[in-house]
Amino acid sequence: MTFAPFSPSKLTVRLGLSVVALTFSCLSHAAAATTYPTLVHSIDGSVVRDNYKECWGTGPNDVSSQANRECGQTPPAPTPVTVAPAPMAEAPAPVMQPAPVAPHHPITLSADALFDFNKAVLKPEGKKLIDRELQKATSQSDLSSIKKVKIAGYTDSIGSAKYNLKLSEKRADAVKSYLVSKGIPASRIHTEGHGLNDPVASNKTREGRAQNRRAEIWFDQQ
């Protein structure tokens, strides 16, 4: 029997091919273990390819593993980052403002229409005037809605201050007595006499003195 001469170079080539095949087998198993195998890049950044023009991959433990479109790998779409909207500030509760209170202007009645000259007795015409103003104040003629009444009497400047003060007080009391007779409790009525003080017109003329002889009435329904 004749043996072919042993060639160390052929054995080396076969062993080299076996090692290469084993290496590719290990790399293929590693590639199967990951979605995208790690790719080997050259210094210029391009992917290293083998003799079959396939991209060269390394083991799955390489931290530089990335998908590459050049090798037919599609990178996964980035996970959208959901930013929770900032909580909307609650609108402050509306502050309820109290309803404005209408000013209570006094009802001004001429003393000449209420009383005879230098008298403190209400005339029939004066009572009618007070009834009319009382009707306006209560709207429905309900006297219980009237909580307070203020009456102020005034005179002109003829005569002494002391006399006019007393006369203005008597006239205010006369109006009070009439309102009590209409059903308003006396405890709700306050009277004041101011005499010749606080004139609203000049006392140098007849017309001005007539305006100063007056009675003012406030009906308070608060």
For residues 13 and 124, the model is more confident at 124
**Domains (range + CATH), the chain:** 11-69 (no CATH), 107-220 (3.30.1330.60)
- Of 117, 143, 145, the closest CA to residue 130 belongs to 143
Q: What is the pLDDT of residue 4?
A: 53
150-to-6, 101, 174, 194, 220 alpha-carbon distances in Å: 141, 18, 13, 13, 8
User: Is residue 82's pLDDT more than 50?
Assistant: yes
Give the pLDDT confidence of 119-138 residue by residue, as tens digits: 889 999 999 999 988 888 77
- Residue keyed to tokens 């003080």: 197
The one-character DSSP state at 49 is B
C-alpha 118/C-alpha 170 separation (Å) is: 11
What residue type is assigned to position 101 of the chain?
A: V
Give the pLDDT confidence of 87-109 residue by residue, as tens digits: 777 777 777 665 544 445 688 88
Give the pLDDT confidence of 159-209 residue by residue, as tens digits: 999 999 999 999 999 999 999 999 999 999 999 999 999 999 999 999 999
Q: What is the pLDDT of residue 222?
A: 64
- Of 43, 100, 49, 94, the closest CA to residue 72 belongs to 49
Under the banding of pLDDT at 50, 70 and 90, the label for residue 15 is very low
Under the banding of pLDDT at 50, 70 and 90, the label for residue 140 is low
Q: What is the pLDDT of residue 17?
A: 44
Phi and psi (nearest 5°) for 58? -115, -170
Q: What is the pLDDT of residue 24?
A: 46
User: Is residue 22's pLDDT more than 60?
Assistant: no
pTM beyond 0.75: no
User: Is residue 12's pLDDT more than 50?
Assistant: no
Kindly report which listed range (51-60, 74-83, 205-214) carries the lowest average pLDDT score: 51-60
